Amino acid sequence: MNKRPQGGCITQVPNVAVVWFSPTYICFLLVAAAMLLPAGCAAIVPPKMKVGHGPTSGPAAISHFLAQWPRPSSRLFTGTLVMAHQHIVVMGLWRFRSPWSFRLAVARKNGRLLFETRANWAGVHVLRLQPGFSKNLALAISHDISLATRSPLSLGALRVGRHQSQIVARDAWGHIIIWQFAGSAGRLRQMLVRRHTGDILTVQYGRYGLRGWPGAMAFYRPALDYAMAIQFRRIQHPYHRR
């Protein structure tokens, strides 16, 4: 087996997926992820988006940001999944090509696989699933991750405010999507997806790097009683580029 990259790796053998992370890396990312999740387990309530007091960026900065995000990459992640009044420490691997083409593996902190999904031209498919874990939730999380990486088709509907800017559009499935940008760099800070009354997905982004990818994402979907906060680490070893 190839040498493990610093931070962690994931290997697959028949019917088992095992993820390894260094203890220091796990502790650091779990503390950061926990800060993004609501305290307690009573309800899934997205926190308010933090907006600076400085002026928001204009179309040029937002256009530059969207031109470099998102890009294909493979990323390890760790974080916390809140569902049905449970807090589950998770880790895994996200091989991303586009919002409609990716592979996602999510496991518990002990490396036992919860689910693995693949998205392609035919939609999202569950490849493997831990007995007892909801297939519908695995599909929902994967669909939500797909939505979270989509970009607006144009800036024609951009509305520039004092401290933030936003674009509102409707996709081919009838979802109303709101992208909210803030800061001088015009980075995406929050996305709202309204499927129908009472089912709203909130995605928040943070810890942007030089390459334009967010280092942290948090998902909140009260209608399905789940929230998930994850922190990323980019894989740079050829062994993981498949």
Is pLDDT above 90 for 131? Answer: yes
In a domain, 38, yes or no: yes
Mean pLDDT across 69-95? 92
In a domain, 73, yes or no: yes
In a domain, 2, yes or no: no
In a domain, 99, yes or no: yes
Q: Which of 9, 22, 26, 35 is nearest to 206 (CA)?
A: 35
Mean pLDDT across 103-119? 97
In a domain, 217, yes or no: yes
Q: Which residue has the higher pLDDT, 184 or 237?
A: 184
Largest interatomic CA distance in the chain: 54
| Residue whose tokens read 């390890």 | 76
Mean pLDDT across 101-128? 96
pLDDT, residue 189, reads: 93
Based on the structure, what is the number of domains in the chain?
A: 1
Is pLDDT above 50 for 12? Answer: no
In a domain, 3, yes or no: no
In a domain, 60, yes or no: yes
Q: Which residue has the higher pLDDT, 5 or 156?
A: 156
Q: Amino acid identity, residue 141?
A: I
Q: Which of 5, 25, 9 is nearest to 17 (CA)?
A: 9
56: confidence class by pLDDT, cuts 50, 70, 90? low
Q: What is the pTM of this model?
A: 0.78
CATH number at residue 127: 2.50.20.10
In a domain, 1, yes or no: no
Rounded Cα distance, 222 and 139, in Å:
16
Is pLDDT above 50 for 241? Answer: no
Cis preceding-peptide flag for 70 (omega within 30 of 0) = yes
Least confident of 128-132, 139-143, 211-215: 211-215
Domain that includes residue 132, residue range: 8-240
Q: Which two tokens stand for residue 16?
A: 């088992």
pLDDT, residue 55, reads: 62
Task: List Cβ neighbours of 13 (8 Å cut-off, separation of 6 or more).
Answer: none
8: confidence class by pLDDT, cuts 50, 70, 90? very low
